Amino acid sequence: MATVLIVGKPNVGKSTLFNKLVRKKKAIVEDEEGVTRDPVQDIVEWYGKTFKLVDTCGVFDNPQDIISQKMKEITLNMIREADLVLFVVDGKRGITKEDESLADFLRKSNVDTILVANKAENLREFEREVKPELYSLGFGEPIPVSAEHNINLDTLLETIIKKLEEKGLDLESKPEITDAIKVAIVGRPNVGKSTLFNAILNKERALVSPIPGTTRDPVDEEVFIDGKKYVFVDTAGLRRRSRVEPRTVEKYSNYRVVDSIEKADVVVIVLDATQGITRQDQRIAGLVERRGRASVVVFNKWDLVEHREKRYDEFTKLFREKLYFIDYSPLIFTSADKGWNVDRVIDAINLAYASYTTKVPSSAINSALQKVLAFTNLPRGLKIFFGLQVDIKPPTFLFFVNSIEKIKNPQKVFLRKLIRDYVFPFEGSPIFLKFKRSR
């Protein structure tokens, strides 16, 4: 989807403009259940054309910051992901040094830019007082608007769409509205969680922004990878690693791990390949399974394993034995340190999340049920009539049976396998089962 980025110094009315443009559509998303609206990124629809609008939410607040290398990377990444920039200036007060340095920055990054003069509700005054000096920014004719008073926003939208179409972008496609994928990275001390987290962030296309309000020591962080949004939860501990400081015992407490798991959709369970799978690893994996979260299992420090080329099977077997209760998880061998297979971890997170949110039709479950029951011996007297998926996150199935007491663990194992083998594999996701008595 075409992406338009709003850029401007503080207080020129970026958020107001963002909200007004986004609110122009409504219908397509608003009545969709479970769609959480995002304050910094949303879809704009205008007469059947759609594009994604992204607010920079304070990234450019402090011009001083743009100079710092880290901020430069972030802003450049954001700009690289954008097809068009709306450069917003104050149409009432005119331009300042800050606008000039932003203009400079935008020009150097070679991004297509529309100059928007906001707060121009008094159009005459704007034309006379402010407009002439705006040409010096080097973006040609400014478009005067008033976000607050809804003036000229249609013209702005038409100009945006015209520019995007001139670039050959397809604006007809329906937006995919996806929530951020919430990811937790967990594991015993020293297995390489922080190193893995940093390796993910170091991907060329990763763009990090702290969740507003937690700038100092971000607990959760938003990361865009290939335009997709992830929230890594509880990253403060992972961040702190880079400084050399003794960690407190508290950090490893049960509470902390449970808390991160609870906040996540997908949990990346990191193991130290040089140490196999310990009781503590099993305990953590058990928590993930019981809380019904999707999971990805990572054997890290693969670079330290001797004769590793010949040992994939051995480690896979170990995983299936010791973590059998989450054996649906994708298994990845990484060296976070050397950056091996970090891409695969990201792919696996995507896969697990897709499974976690998949809903299959009842017809598929019941034809599988019929097929398999034809050659299965259920415990005496047990009848399974019908099944349907009643929820996602995790996928939850309800089966109507004649006797709930007769459903024991083997029957649950049987039904889960039936679903995975005959309906949908749900790779990376647990499957929850519910039963109801029926005649």
Q: What are phi and psi of 384, to 5 degrees?
A: -110, 115
Question: Based on CB atoms, which residue is closest to ligand GTP, 66 or 169?
Answer: 66
Residue 300 CB neighbour total at 10 angstroms: 27
Tell me whether residue 67 or residue 304 sits nearer to ligand GTP (CB atom).
304
**By CB under 6 A, residue 201 contacts ligand GTP:** no
Please report whether residue 189 would count as binding ligand GTP according to CB under 6 A: yes
Pairing of strands 181-187, 228-232: parallel
Q: Which two tokens stand for residue 82?
A: 């954008």
Shortest Å distance, C-beta 159 to ligand GTP: 17
Residue 279 among known ligand-binding residues: no
Stretch that binds ligand GTP, among 4-12, 290-298, 399-407, 422-430 (CB under 6 A): 4-12
189 labeled binding residue: yes
Q: Binders of ligand GTP among 345-404, rule CB under 6 A?
A: none
Under rule CB under 6 A, residue 182 binds ligand GTP: no
Local structure of 60: helix, strand or coil: coil
* Nearest CA among 345, 334, 270 for reference residue 305: 334
d(CA 295, CA 351): 10
Contact present, 116 and 159 (Cβ < 8 Å): no
Q: Which is nearer to ligand GTP, 260 or 335 (CB)?
A: 335
Cβ proximity of 334 and 305 under 8 Å: no
Closer residue to ligand GTP, CB minimum distance, 154 or 170: 154
Please say which residue, 176 or 250, places its beta carbon nearer to ligand GTP.
Answer: 250
Considering CB under 6 A, how many residues would be counted as binding ligand GTP? 34
Which position among 180, 296, 301, 356 is part of the footprint of ligand GTP (CB under 6 A)?
A: 301
Q: Binding string to ligand GTP for residues 321 to 340, with x set by CB under 6 A, is what?
A: --------------xxx---
CB contact burial 13-46 (16+ within 10 A = b; e otherwise)? bbbebbebbbeebeeeeeeeeeeeebebbbbbbb
Q: Is 110 annotated as a binding residue?
A: no
Please check if 13 is assigned to a binding site.
Answer: yes
Is 428 a residue that touches ligand GTP (CB under 6 A)?
no
Which helix (H) or strand (E) covers residue 266, if one does?
strand 266-272
Q: Which strands form 228-232's sheet, in the order they lie side by side?
A: 206-210, 221-225, 228-232, 181-187, 266-272, 294-300, 331-333
- The answer to whether 109 is annotated as binding is no
Backbone angles phi, psi at 370, to 5 degrees: -60, -50
Identify which range of 140-148, 158-166, 257-265, 277-285 contacts ligand GTP by CB under 6 A. 140-148
CB under 8 Å to 153, separation ≥6 — which residues?
Answer: 20, 21, 24, 145, 147
Binding status of residue 269 toward ligand GTP by CB under 6 A = no
147 binds ligand GTP (CB under 6 A): yes
Q: Does the annotation place 350 within a ligand binding site? A: no
Chain positions 6 to 25 lying near ligand GTP, rule: CB under 6 A, are: 8, 10-16
Instruction: Report, in Å, the least distance between residue 361 CB and ligand GTP.
Output: 41
Give 335's DSSP letter. Answer: B
Among 1, 25, 38, 58, binds ligand GTP (CB under 6 A): 58
Stretch that binds ligand GTP, among 113-121, 226-234, 374-382, 387-395 (CB under 6 A): 113-121
Least Å from the CB of residue 231 to ligand GTP: 19
Start-to-end CA distance of the chain, whole Å, equals: 50
Q: CB of 197 within 8 A of CB of 236?
A: no
Q: Which of 193, 287, 298, 346 binds ligand GTP (CB under 6 A)?
A: 193
String of b and e for 255-285 (b: at least 16 CB within 10 Å)?
A: eebbebbebbbbbbbbbbbeeebeeebeebb
According to DSSP, the β-strands at 331-333 and 294-300 are: parallel
- Which residue, 190 or 376, has its beta carbon nearer to ligand GTP? 190
- Give the integer Cα–Cα distance in Å for 334 and 322: 19
**195 contacts ligand GTP (rule: CB under 6 A):** yes
- Smallest distance, Å, CB 26 to ligand GTP? 20
- For the CB of residue 434, give the shortest distance to ligand GTP in the complex, in Å: 36
Please identify which residue in the block is written with the tokens 């007491």. Answer: 405
DSSP string across 179-208: PPEEEEEEESTTSSHHHHHHHHHTSTTEEE
Residues of this chain that bind ligand GTP (CB under 6 A): 8, 10-16, 58, 61, 118-119, 121, 146-149, 187, 189-195, 241, 247, 300-301, 303-304, 335-337
Query: Which residues are annotated binding-site positions for GTP?
Result: 8-15, 55-59, 118-121, 187-194, 234-238, 300-303
Query: Which residues are annotated binding-site positions?
Result: 8-15, 55-59, 118-121, 187-194, 234-238, 300-303
